[in-house]
Structures are given as C-alpha cells and as structure tokens.
C-alpha cells in the first residue's frame, strides 16, 4: 500500500476549506480507490477516508493511522454503517 499525495488535484476544495473553516493545513492522498483527506487545526487532527465502491478494511485504516498520526497519540474512529466513510480524530 502507498499513500500518494494528490493535493494539487484538489486545489479548489482546499482553498475553500482553508477560507471557510478553522483548518490551517490540508493534504489529500490517494490509497488506491480510497481518498484520504488530512486536516489540521490549531488543536486537532482529522483524517477522513472515503471509498464510494466498497467498505474500507481494518488494515487500510491501520496503515493510514501509522503513516499520518504519531504513535503516542490517542485517536477516535467513527464510521458509517457501510464503512465507506471513516473519520479519525485526535488532539495535537
């Protein structure tokens, strides 16, 4: 598995998010068919994984958290019933 930085492809989305929310930093990654949006505010980190075709597997969630969140952080995971959208949040 590889996280590929595709932030430049989503430039309009990022500009809107930065201007209309408290986000200070946004990166967008591709993990195969999964889009991963990493957002930082002054106090929180939020990662959203989205796959419209199928549910996201546990090993994919673990891969993303190991790559984007430091090991000493405690994070919360919430997901929809179909596991197609997953949100991971933690304090900075």
Query: Is the whole model's pTM more than 0.85, yes or no?
Result: yes
Environment class of 72 (CB within 10 Å of its CB; exposed 0-12, middle 13-18, buried 19+)? exposed
Q: What is the pLDDT of residues 77-89, one digit of tens each?
A: 999 999 999 999 9
Helices (H) and strands (E) in the chain, counts: 2, 6
pLDDT digits (tens, 9 = 90+) for 52-71: 999 999 999 999 999 999 87
pLDDT for residue 67: 94
């Amino acid at each position: 598995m590889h996280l590929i930085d595709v932030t430049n492809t989503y430039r309009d989305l990022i500009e809107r998010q930065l201007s209309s929310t408290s986000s200070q930093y946004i990166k967008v990654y591709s993990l195969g068919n999964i889009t991963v949006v990493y957002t930082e505010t002054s106090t929180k980190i939020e990662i959203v994984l989205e796959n419209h075709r199928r549910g996201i597997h546990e090993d994919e969630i673990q891969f993303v958290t190991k790559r984007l969140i430091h090991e000493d952080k405690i994070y919360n995971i919430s997901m929809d019933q179909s596991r197609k959208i997953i949100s991971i949040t933690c304090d900075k």
